[in-house]
Amino acid sequence: MKYGMLIVDDEYLVRQGIRETIDWSTIGVEIVGEAVNGKQGLEAALRLKPDIIFTDIRMPVMDGLQMIEKLLEFDYDGAIIIYSGYQDFEYARKALEFGVVTYLLKPFNNDDLLEKVREALEKLAEKRQKSKIIGQFKRNLPLLKERLFQEMLTEPLTPSLLEELKAIELTPPEQGVIIRGEASDACAEELESALKAMVERILKLLKPYQTIQQVFDESFVIITACIDSEFLCTKIDQLLLMHQSNSNVKFSIQISSVYDNFLALKEAYEETQALSRNALFVAVNTVATSDLKIHPYKQLVKDVMKIISEEYHRKLTVREVAEKIYVSESHLMHEFKENVGKTFNECLTEYRIMKAKEFLLKGSYRVNEVAVMVGYQDVKYFGQVFKEMVGMTPSQFLAENNEKI
């Protein structure tokens, strides 16, 4: 490998002597340019990008130290050798503070110069190797973080894994909860943007607490020392209302119960996964906490909820839905009450009101339009049902949440 060297000195004979009295090829060095002062040297260095700059200190227009300061502003990463007489040594000491400079005292002979250049090349090679390793580490860090984060959630948190997590500043709180979110109903670019935005909003809530997070392709996981589930559920529900006013991406967010030690992390994460699998409502923004009883819904219930999510906007009866899935009305009603703890009509109404809140927050529809969109032809009745479920009229809900948004 050849190293390029730039000579900066205002004396022609000095430059000529350095250039012609040493066979630089023996140590893999090639003289790529010369300059008569620091200003020209700076311009030449930026243009030629030499590996080594050999420069005098005292020069007209711009001296060697001024040139070095300017070079460092441009992130010059090569080696610099400065030389001067004894009387300039204290002045030259300033250059040594930059940490990129080797000093050579005049007068010097060719052997001295060659030795200094060899030393400079060794240091340069070592520095560049470190920079290469650091660069590779930084490029691989996101993948490493994702792998270790996933391992922390799915494997026992051993002392060695904990040390690895500490090394990349991913140490979880010893006590806390896991917040897991899944995004859907959008293209990859929209999902990525929505996931990052939601995580940023939640992290603002959690600023006073030790918190770590990881965003995956279609989900995110936040581990926080905040253990107030009621606070988390209320605030995240508010964030979802804000989110759905300007996005079509749907979020299903789960909050685990409190874990008390590192070994319980895996169990807390599995709890959020179970909450996700147990989600009753689809295609709407939801928050689920560990207060919910986790049990698998029967396929019949899932089939009915899918029909509700697709056809909530029109008149929908138990008889019609029962016929669609080839069961009797009585069997459907019994299974719903038994498995969900609610009637078919209660679930339909709850879903319609969830969708109504979403449409109202879009800001594009009047209350009477939203009523029809979610299956109510009677606007007055829609208002009564909405108030009963939300605690306020549609207009009050809209006014209150517009202030927050």
pLDDT tens for the 405 residues of the chain, in order: 789 999 999 999 989 999 999 999 999 999 999 999 999 999 999 999 999 999 998 889 998 888 998 998 898 889 999 887 756 666 666 666 665 577 787 788 888 889 889 988 888 888 888 888 777 877 888 888 889 999 999 988 888 888 888 888 889 999 999 999 998 876 777 888 889 999 999 999 999 999 999 999 889 999 999 999 889 988 998 888 888 777 788 888 999 999 999 889 999 999 999 888 877 776 667 777 766 555 678 889 889 999 999 999 999 999 999 999 999 999 999 988 888 888 999 999 999 999 999 899 888 899 999 999 999 999 999 999 999 999 999 999 888 876 655
β-pairing, 286-289 with 250-255? parallel
Is 370 part of any domain?
Answer: no
Distance CA 5, CA 80 (A): 10
Report the pLDDT value the prediction gives residue 87, as an integer from 0 to 100.
63
Distance CA 103, CA 227 (A): 59
Element (H, E) at 246: none
pTM check: above 0.85: no
Number of domains in the chain: 3
CATH number, domain with residue 237 = 3.30.70
Is 46 part of any domain?
Answer: yes
Report the pLDDT value the prediction gives residue 91, as an integer from 0 to 100.
65
Whether 306 and 272 share a structural domain: yes
Is 401 part of any domain?
Answer: no
Contacts of 12 by beta carbon, 8 Å cutoff, 6+ apart: none
CA angle 392, 395, 397 (to 5 degrees): 50
Is 365 part of any domain?
Answer: no
Report the pLDDT value the prediction gives residue 186, as an integer from 0 to 100.
66
Report the pLDDT value the prediction gives residue 349, as an integer from 0 to 100.
95
Report the pLDDT value the prediction gives residue 96, as an integer from 0 to 100.
64
Whether 236 and 287 share a structural domain: yes
Whether 127 and 140 share a structural domain: no
Whether 15 and 72 share a structural domain: yes
CATH number, domain with residue 23 = 3.40.50.2300
Is 394 part of any domain?
Answer: no
Residue showing tokens 């943007």: 193
Sequence-ordered alpha helix ranges (H) in 278-393:
299-311, 318-324, 329-340, 344-362, 367-373, 379-390
Whether 296 and 311 share a structural domain: yes
Whether 287 and 336 share a structural domain: yes
Q: How far is CA 164 from the centre of its chain?
A: 19
Two structure tokens written together for 223: 């581990």
- Which of 146, 166, 186 is where one domain is finished? 166
Is 116 part of any domain?
Answer: yes
Is 290 part of any domain?
Answer: yes
Report the pLDDT value the prediction gives residue 282, as an integer from 0 to 100.
67
Report the pLDDT value the prediction gives residue 158, as an integer from 0 to 100.
85
Is 355 part of any domain?
Answer: no
Q: 304 lies in which domain range?
A: 177-346
Whether 78 and 107 share a structural domain: yes
Cis preceding linkage at 107, omega within 30: yes
Whether 11 and 117 share a structural domain: yes
Whether 80 and 212 share a structural domain: no
